[in-house]
Chain A
Amino acid sequence: MSPSSNAAAASSRSDDRVAVRMEGVDKWFGDFQALKGIDLEVANGERIVVCGPSGSGKSTLIRCLNRLEAIQQGRIFVDGIELTAGAQNVEVIRREVGMVFQQFNLFPHMTVLENCTLAPMRVRGMSRAQAEQTARGYLERVRIPEQADKYPAQLSGGEQQRVAIARALCMSPKLMLFDEPTSALDPEMVKEVLDTMLDLANEGMTMLCVTHEMGFARRVADRIIFMDRGEIVEVAPPADFFERPESERTRAFLGQISTY
């Protein structure tokens, strides 16, 4: 494919195959360059795990995809719409992109059910009955239907994170972003959240996960992206990534994390 036909495909909405496309993305925090010339294409239904040492820019990368971070250079397309072409598009894209945060970010003054119905009612214009039915369905799927009327503070960390996943799913997103979803959890709660994410992956959701859970990456990812110092160093399927890492930096990283 020639470069020009590539660009044409990316900017048209008709290409249903591409979920995310980043072209030459640079991101600065003051004098610090967090992302350096990022090029990335994610297909619909693809499950991507982003890993790398802390400060490598992996969280920043996915936070750019729903414009929680603005970029200074380059173009980003999500679901065929150019994110970087105006505020109007940002709103449209945010509706279609779900995000799960390290610290859950549930609304503490609302019940679990209210957390899950707010955006569907306000953004999608669903009726309360409809939104609650949808929410209960997703709470069932993340296996906490009985907690619907509790407040977040009454739940364990693992339960809160599953609520956060359900809340994002209630918007029927086309793409899910996970920003270190298990890093703030007690060890015994990591599995229940990963199981939920695994279910989601098996149902064909397009996912970008920043995580340190290499077992999850090995099992779920179609491709693993390794980042270091704001650059994508290596992109490979799990088997190649773990068994035959190409880059010296990847090998050093894997050597450090798999000691135990």
Chain B
Amino acid sequence: MLRSFGWNEIWFIVTAIQWTLILSAIAFGGGALGGLLIALSRVSRTSVLRHAAQGFIRVFQGTPLLLQLFVIFFGLNAFGIVVQPLTAASIALTLHASAFLGEIWRGCIEAVPKSQSEASWSMGLSYRDRMRYVVLPQAARIGVAPTVGFLVQLLKETSLASIIGFVEITRAGQIISNVTFEPFKVFSLVAALYFVLCWPLTLLARRMERRFALSGRS
């Protein structure tokens, strides 16, 4: 039952791009939300929040993403909660992205000079208004390039979801490789597809970095 590596097989892999993109989008969207909460907690004056956020970051930065996937996928199933591979991968990657984006953005928030907060305090701005109008917009400019850089990393990391059976491009490649016995060709194609997705993002990150480096003059 050996199949040849033809257009149908190539098409099967190419269409799996949508699942790689969907998983990336979920993880990035969820991670952005979670990351903002983590970053704000890390710079909070409430020590409970600070410590909780730090603990969260330690756990998710200090363990391999693959094991986080396993723990969530098999762990939830072991407790009788049936989760689909997409759900498990989404949860794991969201938590992972929250930790990393949280730490990246904390750095960006702290890179906004304290004098900006002092000016805000001196005018009586509330915490919310200070963050919303003064600190976060400036932190966002600093954060664009590293954030896009992390998105590239995240997109590649979705390949790990193949191991719990989620059919994105890596898993699609495995399936085709198994039936064609052409692993070199198949995985070269898969790698090329990741490159096509990531390269423009890398260029974008570099361009934004340069743009903000220029406009960053005070």
Contacts and interface: CB of A to CB of B under 8 A. Distances in A.
Interface of A: 66-68, 91, 94-95, 97-99, 101, 103, 105-109, 118-119, 122-123, 152-153, 167-168, 171, 177
A119 B123 contact: yes
B125 A109 contact: no
Contacts of A152: 218
B130 to A, nearest CB: 9
A118 B121 contact: no
Interface in B122-173: 122-126, 129, 133-134, 137-138, 141
6 contacts: A67-B121, A95-B123, A99-B122, A109-B137, A118-B133, A119-B124
Given A108-B138, A109-B141, A122 B126 contact: yes
Contact of B122 (A68, A103, A106, A107): A68
A94 B122 contact: yes
Interface of B: 115-116, 118-119, 121-126, 129, 133-134, 137-138, 141, 217-218
A105 B119 contact: yes
A245 to B, nearest CB: 32
B123 A168 contact: yes
Given A107-B134, A118-B133, A101 B124 contact: no
Contacts of A105: 115-116, 118-119
Contacts of B137: 109
A59 to B, nearest CB: 12
Nearest to A102: B115
B125 to A, nearest CB: 6
Contact of B123 (A94, A103, A153): A94
B76 to A, nearest CB: 43
B122 A66 contact: yes
Contacts of B122: 66, 68, 94, 97-99, 168, 177
Contacts of A107: 116, 119, 133-134, 138
Contacts of A103: 115
Contacts of B124: 91, 94-95, 119, 123, 171
Contacts of A106: 119
A68 B116 CA distance: 12
Contact of B218 (A91, A108, A171): A108
A118 B125 contact: yes
